[in-house]
Every structure is written in C-alpha cells, then in structure tokens.
Structure 1
C-alpha cells in the first residue's frame, strides 16, 4: 500500500468543482487544513457563503473521493461556512452590525421583485446565515404582509435612537409600513423619501447580520441613487419577467448599478412559464428566454428562473412565502439555489476585484 501525502489529497480535491464558486476547493482557497495520520485523512474546508443545506452532501462527495485514493482507509471532510464582510462602493463606510448588503431591484413594477426579496432572505436564513430584510419601497411597502406581521405592529425603540427590527420566520424585518398607517399613502417628494430610507438603514439596530436584503422600489430614481451614494451595497440582483417591456426596463436597472459601481450579481426571471394545473400543459405567457438573453448581454449569471405559480402568490399574500411555507418543495429549492448563488457571487466579485492589476501613471 502506498503512502498518501498532501499533494495526492489536493489532486483529488481539484477534480471536483464547487457548483456555486465554479472552482475546485483548492483553487478557491477553501482548504483550511489537511491532516494525514497513516491511512487516515482529515480535511477541513471553509466556504465564504451560506450553504448549510449544501455543505454536508458536498462533504460526503469529497470524503468518498478521498477514500478511493490508494493508501487511504478512512477520510473525514468537515466544511464550515463563514460569511465575511465584502467590499462595497469606495469611500462609503460599512453599516454597523451588517456584513453584506444585497439590493433586489427591478426596472418596473409587477415583476415579483418583493416576492423574490422575501424568499431570498428566507432561503439565506435556511442556509444558516443571519439575515435581515429592509423594505425600501417607501410608497408601496409589502414585506410586513409577506412576513405575516400584523397590521399596526410597531418596532420598539432602543436608547431613544434605534429601531429594533421585528423578527419573523427567523429574519429581522424593518419597513416604513411599521411606522405609518397602512391605509395612508406616502405623499412625499424625493428628498423626504431619501431621508426616510437613510433613517431606516442607519437607525435600525440590526443584530450582527451576514446579509441585509434591501427590497428596492421599481425604477431608477431618487431612492436608488441615495442607496448607491450612501449605503455600502455588496451587489444587486435584478428581477424581471421574460416580457420585452420588462426586459427593457431591467436593462436600465443593470446600467444604473454599473454606473454607480455596484456589482450586478445576476438576474432572476419570474413568470418564466405557466404549467396548467388541470392538464399540465406548459405555456410561456410572457415570452421565452428573456432572462437568459439579458444575463448574456451583460455578462452576468441567470441566477434563477421561476414559474408563474398561483402557489407563490398565495403563500406570499398569506404571510408565509414559499421558502418558509413549503421548504422542501421544488420551487423552494430554486430559491435555495438562488441564495447560494448570490452568496457565492459576492465572494467572487471581491476576488475578481482584488485580482485586477492597479494602473499608475508617472512622468518618467
């Protein structure tokens, strides 16, 4: 029997690609330790994104591969998920007790942006992350309803300065709806809206969050610009439908984030296909392949493609979105994939930025 060494173990690990980082564990810098004791091998990996539902299966795959290595009788692979704070826009200080801010945006309304934001937050929490969601749609806040928070609920105030977010389904939730009457429209001009958003972001006592998901209002106006200039956003997720009009506005959203130097993590396509509940016939009511075309055009990833489903709407309206209501369902699994891809893309965006060479100009 041959003697196993570290190089042989690393060679095995290099044969397996993390589907979210698109790299093997060695190249991705995930290997924390490789301990070899005769014919027994222990490997410890660390993922930089929340992947609690994925890591055990991934560890088993790698463990089996190492045990097939000549000279190994028994192997053990331990995978930990440690989410770090990642770089946002230059010269914008980080938020207290928040590692990463993820903006969920759309060019137009009615494409399922808020539903996507809610399910993304819940899916990240299921993966083991500490998560909050901020409803930045000042004119039409809906996250309170989606998280089943009773009308008239008000956040507690800490030290006469901080709003204490409301807990629901394991997620910290903050919304302008908690501070106003649900039946009273917000008749505010731009500066007032921007000020309200900043107050919600900076004066909420978030509790050591790995991710803060911000449900943006549709469009590319004051709130989006305020966010880009004042809030450290690690990346943005663009939500669209395959419809040409929605794609046209989604392109504007992508361009806006690029101009303000916020990475676009990818595209989520909602209402991609409708499956008849009676006969099972599939029909693309809003067009086909639009999200994929948009992602390809801008060189970003199509993070998820979701069907036009009455169940998604009913569960969100009922205060328990799909990722919480039916966590083992096929649709919920799509949201879990979305959550892992978003977390991994944040890590990859920073790695890509650090790899870029610096360019200097001198008079020599």
Structure 2
C-alpha cells in the first residue's frame, strides 16, 4: 500500500502547474485513498480562481495515475482551499436579506426537474425519504437520479445497497451507479470504507457538490432528487445559487422542536427564491405489529397544520415502521416492496408525477 502511494505521489510530481511547480511539490494532493485497484484523491487549489483554470491538470493527473500498474479505477476531485476574491457586490447575508447568486443558476444538462429534500434538522428522515421517493418514482416509470449532497455524512450508498465506484471512461464525466432503477451518485462511493470520515472545509464541500452536479453524466432524467444535509449552510446556499431547482420538499416529524427547524429551512428557500413544493410528515404514526394499536409517538398533524398556515401543499404522512429501518440498513428501500409504507411513498410519487414536477 505504501509503495503504491509513493508511486502515485511520484507520478503526480510530473504534473506541472500553470504558475510553476507540480501537484506534489506544491502540496495540493489531499485524501489520497488506495483500495485495491481503486484510487481516489482530491486536488486542492489555493483559491477558487486557480481551481477554475486547473481542469487540464486534473485530467492529466487522472490519466497519469490510471496508467500505473495495478490501478484499475481513478477518481479525482478538483476543489479549492481559500475563499474567492471579494465580489464588487457581495451577497447580502443580513437577516431578512436575499443572497444574490454570484453566477448562474444553471440547468444540469439532460435533467428536466431537480427536487431538493430538506429540513432544518437532522434525524427526521431526509435520506430515508430521498431514497424511497427516488425508488417510488422509478416504479412510476420515471427516469430518476439521486444525488447524496450530504458530503460529510453520506448515507445513500448504504440505503441504496451499493458500494460500486463511479467510472469515468472519457476522463471528463463520472458515470453514476445504478440501483433499484435509480441513477445514484455520492461522495461515499469514492471513500475507502463507510467508516472513513470526510474532513473538509466549506470551499471543498462546495467544490465537490458542484462536481457531483455538473460533472456527472446524469442525462436523460425526468427528475433528480437531492438529499441535502441538515441546516441552512454552505451546501444549501451553493445548490440554490448554482443550479436551477424546480423546488424543495420539506420533511419533518410532527413534534414542535422539529417544526421549528423546518420553518428555518422554509425561510431559507424563500430567501433564495426556491419554491416549496410541499411538506411531508415523517414518523407520523406507529402501529404495533402485535396488537394493532396506533400511537403518535412524536405527535400528529403538526406538519399538516404548518402546511396550511404557509399555504403550501401537504404531501402526506409516512408512518414510523421497523420495516423502513430494516430496509434502509439492508440496502433495499421500503418503496421497492409492498405494504402500507411502500404505498405511502407510491402515493407521494404519483402526486408529484400528476403535478408535472417529477
């Protein structure tokens, strides 16, 4: 392993930079991973401006490493370390302001609709909803993609049951992997294992997200589902500013503390002019498999009431079920099967298709 890493770094020392030096001597190589014949690493430029002019070096590094004996697949991400130069009119980030996009937003080639799955809080089921909705839409005959935008905590490879590494035959675009009829991309597919941490700064996260959006051969898709991380930070803002979103679906449990954070996510999308396509109440009810008693462990109806107050569509309730957890852990989303939970996701998918947004 160490010999291979030395060979790779030696090879990268032959990739010259426009302003002098090479990738190795300028210490631009990060997160180098060697897993059998699969190699992945990040090229971290000092600034976004320099990164914008280094695509040729990224391709050269990928080609050079791919030529080494024992290397079967190579994945290279180009990102930046430092902040961009100050724009003449910086985004207004004051409370109540509307951030201005620096460039774009742009469509993703070959993708008809882009739907972000969001909430202001973790643990309410965004990733579960994203994977199951993607599978449910595919079962409705739609051409569906699923982008895991939770760069620091990618979970879609486990939920979709794949650890296949994306390929890049032409050295330009990554080919998404396919699972359950869905094209899928996640930074988790490029890590050595699901225990490997991604320890990146904000600019690196934003650079990686843009590459996963625009340097992946998604086409043709009727809809791309994006599983967002919790909060209202860099990833959400980058997505809204750089890509043409059809809209966002907000997922929350019915309890007040979750709804508080969901309202923040709604306010954030309002500030960046992204439509709210509707709200989903997750973990809405629990039916005991032994006695059939129905209980509302996290309350009930809070999301429906919030949707009514906002004048936004209420898209439905997803029950709390052990089957959902087991299905996610096993890599076969519950929507791929049958039963009440699968039907709940199918109903949500049919509604989106009927509205022409998926």
Same fold (TM over 0.5): yes
> What is the distance in 1 between the residues matched to 2:313 and 2:169?
41
Offset of residue 347 of structure 1: 5.0
Offset of residue 158 of structure 1: 2.8
- Asked whether the 8 Å contact 2:104–2:242 carries over to 1, the reply is no
> What is the distance in 1 between the residues matched to 2:241 and 2:148?
18
Structure 2 residue 182 is the aligned partner of structure 1 residue 178: no
> What is the distance in 2 between the residues matched to 1:286 and 1:279?
20
Structure 2 residue 128 is the aligned partner of structure 1 residue 115: yes
Structure 2: stretches of 5+ with no match in the other structure: 1-100
Offset of residue 286 of structure 1: 0.7
- Asked whether the 8 Å contact 2:286–2:296 carries over to 1, the reply is yes
- Asked whether the 8 Å contact 2:105–2:240 carries over to 1, the reply is no
Which of 284, 306, 309 is 1:294 aligned to? 306
- Asked whether the 8 Å contact 1:132–1:171 carries over to 2, the reply is yes
Q: SS in structure 1 opposite 2:112?
A: strand
Q: SS in structure 2 opposite 1:134?
A: strand
Residues 191-217 of structure 1, C-alpha deviation per residue, up to 9 Å, x if partnerless? 111111001100011130000000000
Residues 55-108 of structure 1, C-alpha deviation per residue, up to 9 Å, x if partnerless? xxxxxxxxxxxxxxxxxxxxxxxxxxxxxxxxxx99523111111101001111
In structure 2, the residue matched to 1:263 is 275
> What is the distance in 1 between the residues matched to 2:231 and 2:206?
14
Offset of residue 179 of structure 1: 1.4
In structure 2, the residue matched to 1:211 is 223
- Asked whether the 8 Å contact 1:265–1:346 carries over to 2, the reply is no
In structure 2, the residue matched to 1:234 is 246
> What is the distance in 1 between the residues matched to 2:104 and 2:232?
22
Offset of residue 330 of structure 1: 2.1
Structure 2 residue 189 is the aligned partner of structure 1 residue 166: no
- Structure 1 outlier segments of 4+, above 6 Å: none
Offset of residue 345 of structure 1: 4.0
- Asked whether the 8 Å contact 1:132–1:206 carries over to 2, the reply is yes
Bigger Cα Rg: 1
> What is the distance in 1 between the residues matched to 2:354 and 2:189?
32
Offset of residue 315 of structure 1: 0.6
In structure 2, the residue matched to 1:136 is 149
In structure 1, the residue matched to 2:346 is 336
Residues 232-260 of structure 1, C-alpha deviation per residue, up to 9 Å, x if partnerless? 11011001001111000000111111111
Structure 1 pair 103–347 and aligned structure 2 pair: CA distance change class (3 A): closer
In structure 2, the residue matched to 1:197 is 209
Offset of residue 343 of structure 1: 3.3
Q: With structure 2 as the length reference, what TM-score do the two structures score?
A: 0.69
Structure 1 pair 197–347 and aligned structure 2 pair: CA distance change class (3 A): closer
> What is the distance in 2 between the residues matched to 1:212 and 1:168?
14
> What is the distance in 1 between the residues matched to 2:151 and 2:353?
26
Q: SS in structure 2 opposite 1:132?
A: strand
In structure 1, the residue matched to 2:117 is 104
> What is the distance in 2 between the residues matched to 1:346 and 1:290?
27
RMSD of equivalent CA atoms: 1.7
Structure 1 pair 304–145 and aligned structure 2 pair: CA distance change class (3 A): same
Q: SS in structure 2 opposite 1:167?
A: strand
> What is the distance in 1 between the residues matched to 2:168 and 2:328?
28
Residues 239-288 of structure 1, C-alpha deviation per residue, up to 9 Å, x if partnerless? 10011110000001111111111110001111111111221111111112
> What is the distance in 2 between the residues matched to 1:346 and 1:263?
14
